Structure 1
Amino acid sequence: MRDYIKRVIIALIMALCVSLLFLGGKHSEASMQVNKEMKDGWIWPADGIVSDTYGTRMGKHKGIDIAGKLNTPVLAVADGQVVKSYYSNTYGNVVFIKHPSHLVTVYAHLNKRNVFQGQKIKQGTVIGKMGETGQATGIHLHFETHQQEWRYDKKFALDPEKILGKADTGETVRGGIAASNGVVLEASSHIKFNHEDKIKVTNQQYIVKQGDTLYSISREKNISVTRIKELNHLSTDLIKPKQILNIH
């Protein structure tokens, strides 16, 4: 009898191992799908300066921020269907798009929404205009990417730069430009913004200039270095030219 029970337990353990291997295969398929999306050439959703990246704020920032001027066109990064288009207290005017790959993209803090739920759209469609609605500090687009679905806990969040291409904080990007081999084409070096004219910042923000340090900014703006780091979720004193900092 004991031998029989042992054989049953061993069989159950083997079945569990096979199931885990199968799930691992499914996970690999999902990763392959993301790689395919990268090859398909998603485009950047708006002109502007990357003001925050994925994973900052102690891991709570599940997207990227692109700061720009009011009413800058916001583009669909790929073909898809609008699954949500509404006003949220946190996201402000926000649009959710589901793509054929089953990835979902989110476009938040829009000043205006141009699309409606259920609408099928093509890559490059202007789905709204950049703004600062909802819980936003300054005019910018908050952009997210999720696998399968968007959830409140953002369990399936994916770093958008894995598909769009790498662009560090302070770099300039242009809507409609695709990534090639993980590098953004015509990012920063090809586009010249006169920041005071093109990028509208509030009196609560500061654009880092060449030669600035947190100490020099703290003296100029009468705010402590520690407070600047807290407001911008900085773990080091490293800042870059064109970076947008909150100072109040």
Structure 2
Amino acid sequence: MRHTRALLLSAVLLGGCASAPPDPNGIWINQAAIDAASAGGPLREALLAYGPNLEWRIDSGRQLATFSNGFELGEGQLHADPTGGWQVDFYGDFHERLNLEDDQLVQVENATSPQQRFVRPRVEVAADAPQGSSFEQTLYAAYLGGSWTIEQGPGQGGPVRFHPDGQVEGLPRAERYALCLAGDCAAMSGEHDSLWLQLGQQGSPWIFRRDGQQLSIFEARNQAQSDEMPDYSPGAQRWLLQRD
């Protein structure tokens, strides 16, 4: 009898372990969007094709899951799904389902969004870095990393380096940059890619075009009225950069 009870107890324990989903705790980034952008084409097209979410941050200890789409954050309650995987419940009766498949976090397709796959980032960011920093820094390194030379424009012939943390060296009158990923800046630039260049406390938007190993940066020409939301289109070209 004791032997039978021991076997039954072992079966229950093993069954419980087998049914518990793997722990998804940590940060996951949308590497497919980064890879598509790194091919050298338009950034927004790559993000739209493989988005909308760019990063997940899972805190299984607190049962929280937060996604970033490059503009806004969505925080929900994380629960183990009885059928396997995890469910994230957001305010307004909105839900997402997440599964772990090998080394990927899978956001399950639903009526409002496609299936998306996420991987662990290779870069480490500060513990207090804003949500989305892991995706952003990985993207910056892949999309603009390496050495560039100014082929045309102020500083012609000089080297330029875009750093993953948003610093830029060698581009006249700029020390920081930020790529527009989504949100208001995307709405204001329409079909065009845009970035923000800043020196000290002063900054302004610019339109850019990536074509393979060339990067063209244009003045952002505002076509809107003074009482309307800005509507930027490419103006005069300021720089043409060639990747070394």
Return the TM-score normalized by structure 1: 0.26
Which of the two has greater strand per residue? 2
Return the TM-score normalized by structure 2: 0.26
| Bigger Cα Rg | 2
